[in-house]
Amino acid sequence: MPEVDAAYYLILAAMLFSIGAFGLLVRRNPLVMFMCVELMLNAVNLTFVAFSRDLNDVGGQVNVFFVLVVAAAEVVVGLAIIVAVMRHRPGATADDLSVLRG
Amino acid sequence: MVELVWLIPAFPLLGFLVLLVAGRKLGEPGAGIFATLMMGGSFLSAVAVFAGLVDRNESDRFYELTLFEWIPSGDFSVDVGFLADPLAITMTLFITGIATLIHLYSIGYMHGDANFSKFFLYLNLFAFSMLMLVLGNNLLLTFLGWEGVGTCSYLLISFWFTDEANASAGKKAFVTNRVGDFGFMIAMFLAFFTFGSINYGEMLSGAPGMAAGTATAITLLLFLGAAGKSAQFPLYLWLPDAMAGPTPVSALIHAATMVTSGIYLLTRVNPIIAQANGWAPDIIMWVGLFTALFAASIAVAQKDIKKVLAFSTVSQLGFMFVAVGSGVYVAAIFHMITHAFFKALLFLGAGSVIHGMHDEQDMRRYGALHKVMPVTAFTFIIGWLAIAGVPPFSGFWSKDEILLGAYNENKVAWVLLLVAAVMTAFYMSRLVFMTFFGPARWDAEIDGEVPEHEIHPHESPKTMLLPLVVLAGLAAAGGAMNLPFTHSLKRLEIWLEPSLFGNEQHINVAAGTKWGLAIIAVVGALSGVAGAAWIYLKHKAPASLVEKPIMEAGWGYDTAVSNFMGGSGRKAFDATTRFDETIIDGVVNGAGSVVKESGTLLAKLQTGYVRSSAVGIAGGAVALVVYFLARTSF
């Protein structure tokens, strides 16, 4: 089975990251923005794994685990906030949250 | 037994704390007896330490006891520790001894006062502070005591604070002393800068190698501090006003102990003075000499018995500064001790007279009191003979040593000092003749006023007479501690040797000349007494011959200072206040408002829009990437 060059993985990761970042900046639905953040995180994970295999260093994969754990914690907190906001103001956008400004 | 040195200040501190908590409950006379017992304990500890020090070898009489580290701060470290050497223990002995007697006396004197226990609370606190001043093993601890005695002096001068004059006298003492404290503080900084330590042991052993300029600066700055505390010209102003306080306070603080702390301080740092330029000690001597003459001339014309004694104290302190300036430290300490005996005696005697005369202090209403107050009169006469310099009473021996030291240093100074000594004999005799002899003038009309009630003088209670008798014994025989006839009789000089590091000035005067000088001094003293007798007993000459109004007004110096402070000086202070308000406060407030304004500006960046923050993060990330790429590629 032929080896797939690491560059392909990196290009894919860069594309995923860009899509995520773009989505985060242009969309206003908090849930979609949230998914975009996840996309960016996983793009980074992909980079880690790609480098880990290419450089034969397990450290990259260890980092992925950290990212996954942090992302899981972030989802718990983030979704809870979104649900709480939606209950008060159904259909609120991210821009509406600016009323929370101190 | 030297290890017990910490007990000496611990007793009055305990007394202070107990009276602070339970003073009102102890009441009268419990609080007074308790405070007296504490002072007695302190005196006994001082005797024990003294005995321990005598047991040691002469070279070994420099005992330091460190209790704990007080301020550890990098290179700068200050311990709370005590230094027991002959100088400190000599001071301690007479401070605790006289303080005990005056505590005992106060039980009688303060009888019936509404704040009886508070008075003893302050007295104990004063004794504690004074002992810290003397026993502290570094400049900062001495400074702590220095400020402590200043505070107690303030509290006790204005003890009867409902009278406005007393309250402002207390304030005056405090403010005037601050001027001197400023000198003390600068000297302390300079000492740390020079020696890297303010511990006496390290400072004094490092002194021989120091630069003359630094030594001169430290000497003069410490002298400024000493002039404030020991009431020398031009900072003597507060002491006569301090007589507003209760008389035992005048005796303890403003005659016997606190005012001597300046002499103690200068004697303590004698190796530094030895390194200073020659004119620095000369300044000390001439200021002391001027003060001695100046104050004596004022004392001649005072009507208030306590005012005479107050100016007399200023004058006698001038004598001690002459001794320090001439390098005869032993004479200074000797006179300090004998002065403490007879001046405490005179003040307590005056207090007894005032007590018996129902708070009348004007000597023109006294007279013939020896008939009704035999014990007071007898002891007072001993004190008078001692201060006048009549042999064999203690004052003669110590004053003679100072005159000899002045003669050795400068003949002109000796002549002037002799004049001051004659004036001392004169005004003290005037006081005694006006008070105890002549016709009774108890209900005399003065300046158109007569006393409201008829006055029936009476002798004071036993608690007041006992200290008088003890002090009279000391004032009479105190000279025995340092007799000039043979070297072995100069006990004080031998004893103080380890604290003076060989800086005691050698007297180059032939034995015959010494006898001559002593005889001249005695003749001078007796002529002063005779002059007073001529005017005030025989009435051969009018009193207005010597009592000039300008002298009674203290040569107008006090008024001049008051006018300056109220007039042009006031404007200068207002200018500094404006400088403080506009420039200093402006900088401080400006720093605050700059931060506040820039914060308000920056707060506008925070819009609350999640996406604008995201753009910021993304933009920042891109900028970082560009920066690193640019750094590696080019």
Task: Among B610, B615, B618, select the one facing A94 at the smallest CB separation.
Answer: B610
pLDDT digits (tens, 9 = 90+) for A30-42: 889 889 999 999 9
Partners of A43 on chain B (C-beta within 8 Å) are none
pLDDT digits (tens, 9 = 90+) for B24-47: 888 778 888 999 999 999 999 999
Partners of A28 on chain B (C-beta within 8 Å) are 611
Partners of A20 on chain B (C-beta within 8 Å) are none
Confidence of residue B446 (pLDDT cuts 50, 70, 90): confident
Res B488: pLDDT: 83
Contact B618 A94 (CB under 8 A): no
Contact A94 B611 (CB under 8 A): yes
Query: Chains A, B: CB contacts under 8 A, how many?
Result: 27
CA–CA separation, B443 vs B454, rounded Å? 7
- Has residue B61 got a pLDDT over 90? no
pLDDT digits (tens, 9 = 90+) for B585-623: 999 999 999 999 999 998 888 777 888 888 888 899 999
Contact A101 B618 (CB under 8 A): no
pLDDT digits (tens, 9 = 90+) for B343-397: 999 999 998 888 888 888 888 888 778 888 888 899 999 999 999 988 889 989 9
Report, as an integer, the average pLDDT of B13-18. 93
Contact A28 B611 (CB under 8 A): yes
Nearest to B322 by CA among B286, B367, B279: B286
Please tell me if residue A85 touches chain B, with a CB cutoff of 8 Å.
no
CA–CA separation, B467 vs B348, rounded Å? 8
- Is B327:B280 a contact under the CB 8 Å cutoff? no
Task: Among B607, B614, B618, select the one facing A101 at the smallest CB separation.
Answer: B607
The reported pTM is: 0.78
pLDDT digits (tens, 9 = 90+) for B270-318: 989 988 888 899 999 999 999 999 999 999 888 888 989 999 999 999 9
- Has residue B544 got a pLDDT over 80? no
Partners of A25 on chain B (C-beta within 8 Å) are 611, 614-615, 618
Helix-helix angle B462-477:B374-388, to 10 degrees: 30
Secondary structure of residue B457 in the 3-state scheme: coil
In A, minimum Cα distance to B612 occurs at: A25
Chain A nearest-CA distance from B584, in A, is 35
In A, minimum Cα distance to B603 occurs at: A102
Res B78: pLDDT: 85
Res B588: pLDDT: 92
Q: Report the DSSP beta bridge partners of residue B68.
A: B80
- Has residue B57 got a pLDDT over 90? no
CA-based R_g, chain A, Å: 17
Residues B239-253 as b/e (b if ≥16 CB within 10 A, e otherwise) read bbbbbbbbbbbbbbb
H-state helical runs in B158-241: 164-195, 200-206, 212-229, 238-241
pLDDT digits (tens, 9 = 90+) for B471-529: 999 999 888 888 888 888 888 888 888 888 888 888 888 888 888 889 999 999 999 99
Chain A nearest-CA distance from B605, in A, is 11
Q: Positive or negative CA dihedral for B481, B484, B485, B490?
A: positive
Nearest to B97 by CA among B480, B471, B466, B491: B471
**Which helix (H) or strand (E) element contains residue B77?**
strand B76-84
Confidence of residue B195 (pLDDT cuts 50, 70, 90): confident
Res A1: pLDDT: 57
Partners of A94 on chain B (C-beta within 8 Å) are 609-611
**φ, ψ of residue B22 in degrees (nearest 5):** -120, 15
Res B97: pLDDT: 92
Confidence of residue B264 (pLDDT cuts 50, 70, 90): very high
Res B70: pLDDT: 86
- Has residue B322 got a pLDDT over 90? yes
Res A102: pLDDT: 60
Res B426: pLDDT: 92
What contacts B312, CB < 8 A, 6 or more positions away?
A: B295, B296, B299, B343, B346, B387, B424, B427, B428
In A, minimum Cα distance to B621 occurs at: A21
Nearest to B436 by CA among B515, B517, B368: B368
Write the DSSP assignment of A10-52 as a string of letters: HHHHHHHHHHHHHHHHH---HHHHHHHHHHHHHHHHHHHHHHH
Q: Percent of chain B having pLDDT more than 70? A: 100
- Has residue B574 got a pLDDT over 90? no
CA–CA separation, B634 vs B621, rounded Å? 20
Q: Average pLDDT of chain B?
A: 87
Task: Among B609, B614, B618, select the one facing A98 at the smallest CB separation.
Answer: B609
Partners of A33 on chain B (C-beta within 8 Å) are 610
Best residue in B606, B610, B613 for a mutation probing chain A (most A CBs within 10 Å): B610
Chain B nearest-CA distance from A44, in A, is 14
Chain B nearest-CA distance from A53, in A, is 24
Best residue in A17, A19, A25 for a mutation probing chain B (most B CBs within 10 Å): A25
Q: Report the DSSP beta bridge partners of residue B78.
A: B71
In A, minimum Cα distance to B614 occurs at: A25
Chain B nearest-CA distance from A93, in A, is 10
